[in-house]
Copies of this chain bind each other. A is one copy, B any other.
């Protein structure tokens, strides 16, 4: 792909020789001839004058300092994302069912579907065109997978799961396992509540490795369009996640909580059940959301590290203050 072609596809302004062939991408300080680099964060501007990249994606004000051809664009990071997709297009599905895969006779697969080795596709499943199942995927009965959706290796979809189009799920993710619902009986033993809902995932969703999304208890667990979820996230039954919300790794969301659209949930955050989180809410990493949030904004409760010595002092002080207060009149 030539630099000119890239400029056209990205809607970027070309500075320099457009006939240059772009064959790869690399960081600004390491790129060589034929490689495209980008400059988004001003922190890395220092690498621009000395870059040996074939070309650089950058903003207009940086282009002047660029010693090599430049593609000028208002958002170089977005441009880089799109350039990568052009330079490294995903391999097309290799239509066909691997001979070791087990596909139920009642499943309906578009002829262009790729089913990897050792897959299991259950009764009544429907796989639309362009679907790719990596090796070892297991789809229980009655799953529906939209066009151009790609599952990595060893993804599990329990019965009835619905996936939209262009969904991407990474290895080991589990969608539709039973939610965690039990009622105590007279002997204080737990009696299972059958979990009868499904997991329903919109278009353009990405779900990370070993993430788990439980089926709804009575109704469905719903992941909105364009949601991006990292690895090792736990989504409990009946949760709804609004469109274009992003969740970083290790987040846990308890049952029946509804998260709005365009939210960002930081890594390791925990969110209690039966809450409503408004659109446009950012929860910073390692925070603990205990009440509904009605207004967009940034919310936190993560505690930054200190030296163990200082931190133990802070803890001791918090506790001492408690003791003092207890003796004070009119408290509690």
Residues of A within 8 A of B (CB): 25-27, 30, 75, 77-78, 80-82, 84-85, 88, 98, 100, 102, 116-118, 120, 134-136, 138, 140, 152-154, 156, 158, 168, 170-172, 174, 177-178, 180-185, 188-194, 196, 204, 206, 208-210, 212, 214, 218-219, 226, 228, 230-232, 234, 236, 244, 246, 248-250, 252, 254, 262, 267-268, 270, 272, 282-291, 293, 297-315, 317-319, 321-322, 325-326, 332
Contacts and interface: CB of A to CB of B under 8 A. Distances in A.
B317 A302 contact: no
A312 B305 CA distance: 13
Nearest to A76: B183
A81 to B, nearest CB: 4
Contacts of A136: 118, 120, 136, 138, 154
Contact of A210 (B204, B212, B262, B268): B212
Contact of A267 (B75, B84, B254, B305): B254
B135 A135 contact: no
B116 A118 contact: no
Contact of A27 (B118, B219, B289, B291): B219
A290 B178 CA distance: 31
A281 to B, nearest CB: 10
A158 to B, nearest CB: 7
A303 B322 contact: no
A196 B88 contact: yes
A283 B234 CA distance: 19
A174 B282 CA distance: 28
Contacts of A272: 285
Nearest to A252: B250
A251 B134 CA distance: 28
A196 B25 contact: yes
B170 A177 contact: yes
